[in-house]
Amino acid sequence: MDFSFTQEQELLQKGVREFAEKVVAPRVQEMEETKNAPVDIYKAMGQNGFFAVDIPKKYGGLEMGALARVIILEEISRVSAAVGMATQVFYLGIAPFLEAASEEQKQKYLPSLAKGEKLATVAVTEASGGSDPTGIVTEAKKEGDNYILNGRKIFITNSHEADIITVVARTSQDPLQFSAFIVEKGMPGFKPGRKENKMGFHGCTTGELIFENCIVPVENLIGKEGDGLKIALKAISETGRCGMAGVALGILESCLEEAVKFANERILGGKPISVHQAIQARIADIRIALESSRLLTYRAAWLKEKGMRCDVEFAIAKYYSTEAAVQCAKKTVDIYGGYGVMMEFAAQRLYRDAQLLIPSAGTSDIQMIVIARDSLKKGKK
Amino acid sequence: MKPLHIIVCVKPVPDFRSPVEFDQKTKTVKRGNVATVINPLDKNALEAALQLKESFGGKVTALSMAPPFAESVLREVLAFGADEAFLLSDPAFAGSDTLATAYVLAQGVKKIRDFDLVITGAASTDGNTAQVGPQVAEHLGLPHASFVTQVKRHSEHSLELTLKTEEGTILAEIDLPALITVSREINEPRTLGLFGIAAAAAKPLHILGSSDLEVDPERVGEKGSPTRIADIREVSFARKSELHEGTPEAISLLVKKFREWGVI
C-alpha cells in the first residue's frame, strides 16, 4: 500500500490551501453575517479548474480522480465548511452526467460545467420524503416531445446558484419508478423558491425548487424512464457521501488547529491550559478522529478511482467522519471554555457547521442501514 | 510588439511561517523538517513575467540553482504558467555564496540563450542580500534595475520602469535585453489553478550539472565563494519594559519630557 500523494496531488493540496486562505478566508465573516452565497468565489473556483477535477479530458476536464476531489473539499472546508459544502454539491450535480448521461448530453453540458461557467446540483428530496423515495410526488408527464414537470423539491443545496439541475420525478404509477431529467435555469415553469434559514453553513444556499408545468424536452431525460432513482442514488452514495466526508475532514482539521492554538495560548494559573491532561485528552481524541476519518475516506476514494465497489465504504467514511466532526467540534468548544460560545471565535462556527453534515447525503441512521444490510448479507453467505 | 522570451530566476527557500532553527556549525538554516517554498518575491517576478507574456506573447523560462529536491518547486513554477524550467544542480555548486551563485545562474542564462528579459525577486527571505540579481546582470553584461514596482512595455526594444528607492521613486527606461529585480508592490501573484497543475507534468524540466554548463570549477561552490559568515543568530523582538511607580504629577512630568524629546 502506498499512502503518499503524487507530486500532482501535493501541488493540488498546496494550491487549494493557498486559494482557500487568500480568497475564501477573508469572506467567512461576511458569509456568517449575510448568509449570502459567494457566487464570485464559485466563479473563481471554476476558472481555476476546481469543478473540472473529475471530468474526462475530452470534455475539458482534468481527470484527476476522486482523491483529488477529496483533497479539494478538505482544504476548502478547513477554511469554510459552507463553501466546501457548496463545492461538494456542485460535484454531486456533475456526477449524473459522468455516470449516466448520453454522449450528446455529455458533450452539451460537461465543457461548461468543467469551466464552472455553469453550476450544477441534484434535486431528490421533497417535503414528503427524501431518504424514503416513495414520498417523492413530483411527476413528469410525457406530452409530445416534452415532459411536463409538476412538484416542489426542498432542502436543495445550491438551489439558487445552480444552472443545471438533475431532477428526480415520477413517470409511472409504480411507487418506485422514477426518471431523472436535466432542468436548466430559465426553463419555462421552473423557479427557485424560498431559502432555508439554517443553524450553520452560512453562505451555502439551501432552498426550494418549484416546477409548475415546467417544460423539459425529451432529450433531457437521463438514461431511460425508470432509471431515475438508480442514477440519483449512485451519485449520492459514491459522490455525495464522499463529498460529505471531505467536508468533515476539513472541519476536523480546523478543530485540531483551533484547539491546539487556543490550548497553547490560553494561560490560566500561570500556565498554558495545554499542560492539563483533560485538554490533552481532547486534543488527542481530535487527532485520532481526523487521522482515522482520513484513512477511511481516502481509501474509499481510492476504490472509486480503481472502479471497484465503494458504496458501503463511502457510507462508513461518511458516518464516521461526520459523527467525529460533531464530537470534535464539541470538544473544541469545550477547550475554549467561555470563549467557545463567543461569535468572535471560529469554535462556535465549527460546532454549528458540523451538525449540518449529518442530514446531508443520508443521515447517520441511513448510513447504518446501508452498512448493516451489507454486513448481514455477507454473513449469510 | 514582438513576443518576449523572459527568464525568471527562482530560489527555493525554507518556509519561514514554520519555526526555523539554525546550524551554528555550518552557519546555515537547518533544512530538516522545514518545508521548501518559492521565495515570495520570486513569485512576484514570475507573476510579472506571466503578465508580460499574456500581453505580448512569448515564453517564460524558469531558472534555479539548487539541490535536486528543488525539482518540486520548479514543477510548481510550471504549474503557475511557466513554459519550461532549468534546474542547475551539482554537488560542486554546494556552499556557493551570492557571487558564485550569480556566476552559475549567468552560465545557465547563456545556456538557455535568446532571451529578452531576466526577472528575479529583489531579495530572498533567507539570505536577503539583494545581490544575486544585479550580479547575474553584471556577469552577462546586461543593463539592470533593482526594486522595480512597475513595468510597462515602452517600445519594441525597451521597457518603462518605476523603481522604489529610499528617497522616493525613479522613472526609468531600460533597453532590452535587460535584467530587473522586482519588489512586492509590483503585483499580487496569482494562486495555483488546477488546469495549470495538470499541465505542469508534461512541461519540460531540465536538470543540468556543471558538465552541462561552461563553468570554471574555481568559481563555483565554496572555492568560488569569498563570503564568510561570521555569525548567525535569532533576533528576539520582545519589547523591553520597565515598571516604575510614582505620583500622578511625576508621571505627567515624565510624559511631558518624553514629548519634548520626541520619544512619544
What is the domain-level CATH number for residue A144? Answer: 2.40.110.10
Instruction: Determine the Cα–Cα distance for residues A17 and B160; give it in Å rounded to an integer.
Output: 35
Residue A1 belongs to a domain: no
A213 located within any domain: yes
- Environment class of residue A342 by beta-carbon count within 10 Å: exposed (0-12), middle (13-18) or buried (19+)? exposed
Q: Which three cell numbers stand for residue A78?
A: 478547513
C-alpha cell at B48: 510579472
For residue A139, give the 3-state DSSP assignment.
strand
Integer Cα distance of B59 and B83 in angstroms: 6
Note whether B195 contacts A: Cβ–Cβ < 8 A.
yes
Q: Which of B72, B191, B196 sits opposite A7 (nearest CB)?
A: B72
- Regarding whether A369 and A253 lie in a shared domain, the answer is yes
For residue B71, pLDDT over 70 is answered with yes
Q: Count helices and strands (H / E) in chain A.
A: 12, 10
The chain A residue lying nearest B199, using CA atoms, is A62
What's the confidence (pLDDT) of residue B36? Answer: 87
Same domain, A169 and A302: no
| Cα–Cα distance, A243 to A222 (Å, whole number) | 22
SS (H, E, C) B210-222: HHHCCCCHHHCCC
Decide: B42 and B80 in contact? Cβ < 8 Å.
no
Q: Are residues A202 and A92 in the same domain?
A: no
Shortest CA distance to A99 belongs to which of A304, A299, A300, A318? A304
Q: In the listed set A202, A225, A248, which residue is the last one of a domain according to the structure?
A: A225
Point out the domain boundary residue: A119, A141, A159: A119
User: In this complex, is the C-beta atom of B188 within 8 Å of any C-beta atom belonging to chain A?
Assistant: no
Residues A254 and A216 placed together within one structural domain of the fold: no
In a domain, A171, yes or no: yes
Q: What is the DSSP letter of B172?
A: E
- Longest CA–CA separation in chain B, Å: 77
Question: Whose grid coordinates read 473556483?
Answer: A45
Claim to verify: residue A355 and residue A265 sit in the same structural domain = yes
Q: Which residues of A touch B76 (CB under 8 A)?
A: 11, 14
> In this structure, are A88 and A154 located in the same domain?
no
Interface residues on A facing B, Cβ-Cβ cutoff 8 A: 7-8, 10-12, 14-16, 18-19, 22-23, 47-50, 52-53, 62, 64
Give the DSSP per-residue string, A265-283: H-EETTEEGGGSHHHHHHH
In degrees, rounded to 5, the angle at the alpha carbon of residue A153 between the alpha carbons of residues A147 and A156 is 120
Residues 6+ apart with CB under 8 A from B243: none
Q: Do both A34 and A165 map to the same domain?
A: no
Task: Decide if B197 and A47 are in contact by the 8 Å CB cutoff.
Answer: no
Cβ neighbours around A363 below 10 Å, total:
16
Cross-chain CB nearest to A49 (options B72, B194, B201) = B194
Residue-wise pLDDT for B56-70, tens only, equals: 999 999 999 999 999
Q: How many CA atoms lie within 13 A of A199 on its CB side?
A: 11
Question: Is the same domain home to A238 and A210?
Answer: no
**Whole-angstrom distance, CA of residue A263 vs CA of residue A276:** 9
Do residues B5 and B116 lie in contact, with contact meaning Cβ atoms separated by under 8 Å?
yes
Of B195, B200, B201, the CB nearest to A49: B195
pLDDT in the model for residue A372: 97
With a cut of 0.95, is the ipTM above it?
no
Measure the CA–CA gap between A168 and A149, rounded to whole angstroms: 10
Q: Is B91 helix (H, G, I), strand (E, B) or coil?
A: helix
> Phi/psi at B144 (nearest 5 deg)?
-145, 155
- Contact A11/B76, CB-based, under 8 Å? yes
Q: What is the mean pLDDT of residues B3-16?
A: 93
Could you tell me the three cell numbers for B257?
A: 519630557
Specify whether A40 is located in the same domain as A12. yes
Partner residue opposite B192 with nearest CB, options A7, A14, A53 = A14
Residue B72 contacts A where some CB pair is shorter than 8 Å: yes
Q: CA end-to-end span of chain B, whole Å?
A: 55
In a domain, A32, yes or no: yes
Phi-psi region of A186 (alpha: psi -120 to 50; beta: other; left: phi over 0): left
A2 within some domain: no
Tell whether A37 is covered by a domain. yes
Q: How many CA atoms within 13 Å lie on the side-chain side of B200?
A: 27
Which of A11, A52, A64 has the CB atom closest to B75's CB atom? A11
Query: At A11, which CATH number?
Result: 1.10.540.10
Same domain, A196 and A129: yes
The whole-angstrom separation of Cα A197 and Cα B207 is 56
CB B191 to CB A15 under 8 A?
yes
Q: Is the peptide bond before B177 cis (omega within 30 degrees of 0)?
A: yes
Query: Which pLDDT score is estimated for B95?
Result: 85
Per DSSP, helices labelled H in A5-80 are 7-19, 28-34, 39-47, 66-79
CA atoms of A126 and A323, how far apart (whole Å)? 25
Q: CA angle B29-B33-B38, nearest 5°?
A: 70
Q: How far is residue A255's CA from residue A357's CA, in Å, rounded to a whole number? A: 15
**Which residues from chain A sit within 8 angstroms of residue B72, using beta carbons?**
7, 10-11
CA atoms in the 13 A half-sphere facing the CB of B255: 7
Among B3, B47, B14, B60, CA closest to B148:
B47
Q: Which residues pair with B119 in a beta bridge?
A: B8, B180
Task: Examine the pLDDT at B143 and tell me if it is beyond 70.
Answer: yes
Residue with cell 545581490: B131
Where helices occur in chain B by DSSP H, the ranges are 40-56, 71-80, 98-112, 132-140, 194-200, 248-261
Number of domains in chain A: 3
Handedness of CA A274, A275, A280, A281 (dihedral sign): negative
* Rounded CA separation A224/B196 (Å): 38
Please tell me whether residue B74 adopts helix, strand or coil conformation: helix
Say if residue B177's pLDDT is above 70: yes
Contact A145, A217 (CB under 8 A): yes
Q: Shortest CA distance to A120 belongs to which of A68, A182, A40? A: A182
Architecture of domain B4-219: 3-Layer(aba) Sandwich (3.40)
The residue out of A175, A210, A225 marking a domain boundary is: A225
| pLDDT of B32 above 80 | no
pLDDT by residue, tens only, chain A of 381 residues: 789 999 999 999 999 999 999 999 999 999 999 999 999 999 999 999 999 999 999 999 999 999 999 999 999 999 999 999 999 999 999 999 999 999 999 999 999 999 999 999 999 999 988 888 888 999 999 999 999 999 999 999 999 999 999 999 999 988 889 999 999 999 999 999 999 999 999 999 999 999 999 999 999 999 999 999 999 999 999 999 999 999 999 999 999 999 999 999 999 999 999 999 999 999 999 999 999 999 999 999 999 999 999 999 999 999 999 999 999 999 999 999 999 999 999 999 999 999 999 999 999 999 999 999 999 998 776
Does a structural domain hold residue A111? yes
Q: Of all helices (H) and strands (E), which one includes residue A254?
A: helix A241-265
Which residue, among B14, B208, B229, has the nearest Cα to B92 in the 3D structure? Answer: B208
What distance in Å separates the CA atoms of residue B162 and residue B173, rounded to the nearest whole number? 9
| Residue-range domain boundaries for chain B | 4-219
Q: What is the DSSP letter of A173?
A: S
- Both A273 and A292 in one domain: the answer is yes
Rounded distance between C-alpha atoms, residue B26 and residue A44, angstroms: 45
Long-range CB contact pairs, B98-101, < 8 A, 24+: B98/B127, B98/B129, B98/B131, B98/B132, B98/B135, B98/B227, B99/B131, B99/B135, B99/B224, B99/B225, B99/B226, B99/B227, B100/B219, B100/B220, B100/B221, B100/B224, B100/B225, B101/B65, B101/B132
Q: Where in the sequence is the domain holding A340, given as residue range(s)?
A: 230-380
Find cell 471554555 and name the residue: A337
Q: Are residues A61 and A106 in the same domain?
A: yes
When pLDDT is cut at 50, 70 and 90, the band that residue B232 belongs to is confident
Give the three cell numbers for residue B20. Answer: 526555523
Task: List CB contacts (< 8 A) between B190 and chain A.
Answer: none
Put simply, whether B29 touches A (Cβ < 8 Å) is: no
Look at residue A301 and give its three-state secondary structure: helix
